[in-house]
Chain A
């Protein structure tokens, strides 16, 4: 199982540059169109094209990475608690010590590169929201583990309801429902605030605490899980498309995830637990990349920002050719972080490697 979970972690890490590249693809398609065609922006002429649907599919499928990383963290927290169910404070402090410095350093780099200050706390914490989330969840973990050990069914039920509530909020935002209470709830529950992704952490803790039972009970259904994985992947694209068409003339944007993308992420991690084996080309290399997932998370968006800025300013024609633009972004977003890490290891910064990359 560890081999499969590591391979999936590698896929989750590789998904990050794909995910961000797709978002830059949409940016070029709708908001930078005037850089390569004589039109005003936003321009939705390419909405509904084959290229658009390819980008949308990549964006929907690659979005399983953050849920997966949260699941793995929850899995580890339950492991840290041991048979007594208590997480020693020094252990938690050690985890936080590894997470806080990279968060601070790369958030500063993120805004320095953009040459501006964050406009709000929300924007500041959103830049690396996964780390902000995981810090909160680690701090809450002594109580969470206790509650899940006490009655995991109740906790997972509550976490599921919460997750469904957040999906409902996405729907209300997509259809621009004007209720002041809904707007207030949306403002108070940003992506970096722990309730928004608590479900995945709780699933990780629960599965870790009940690993034997879960794997025994679910393994006979591994083929059904594969079917559910494929179906949920297709429906996640269909769901987005339907909501996009029904919600008005403007493009729906990248904040809408929907029910089926969440189910796809859930099926992906259940597949990791139950599949007898996962055969993929370059499995060893993908697994190796997974070991550097935190650094890839920290660096890929910066590399993509730099590459897309260069293309925007120097070679704007490429923005209109996604067949070239996407590979450039994906390759640089994958290889760039690995090169930066290798360079740090060979430079005088080597003693600070842990501070930089966790």
Chain B
């Protein structure tokens, strides 16, 4: 889990926060505007490539992407 969390944090920091995470990773990623329309697709693509997670259409809901923890849970669910 820790490895997944660190990878996701590193990816979000690099892709959406221009390398400067600050406190942003503890916020709601969607509400704070960190993840936008393209961002959600980019993140799903990353999860599929990096963890071989089979993200299904029904998984693409707000609740699964609001926090790092929620994203980790989704990855665990879809890689098992």
Contact = CB atoms under 8 A, between A and B. Distances in A.
Interface of A: 1-3, 5-6, 9, 72-73, 75-76, 79-83, 88, 90-91, 94-95, 97-98, 208, 211-212, 215, 287, 290-291, 293, 345, 350, 353
B38 A6 contact: yes
Nearest to A7: B45
A328 B44 CA distance: 36
Interface magnitude class on chain B: 20 to 34
A7 to B, nearest CB: 9
Contact of B41 (A9, A90, A97, A211): A9
A290 B38 contact: yes
Contacts of A88: 31
B60 interface: yes
B66 to A, nearest CB: 9
Listed from nearest, the 9 A-B pairs whose CB atoms lie closest are A76-B37, A94-B33, A82-B62, A2-B44, A211-B57, A212-B57, A2-B41, A2-B45, A91-B31
A80 B58 contact: no
A291 B31 contact: no
A75 B31 contact: no
A76 B43 CA distance: 13
Given A6-B38, A79-B62, A94-B31, 18 more contacts: A2-B41, A2-B45, A5-B41, A6-B45, A72-B37, A76-B36, A79-B40, A83-B61, A83-B62, A91-B30, A95-B33, A97-B33, A208-B60, A215-B57, A291-B15, A291-B38, A291-B42, A353-B18
A223 to B, nearest CB: 20
B48 interface: yes
A212 B31 CA distance: 24
Contacts of A215: 57
A75 B38 contact: no
Contacts of B60: 79, 208, 211
B32 interface: yes
Contact of A73 (B33, B37, B44, B55): B37
Contacts of A353: 18
B36 A98 contact: yes
A1 B62 CA distance: 17
Contacts of B41: 2, 5-6, 9, 72
A350 B19 CA distance: 12
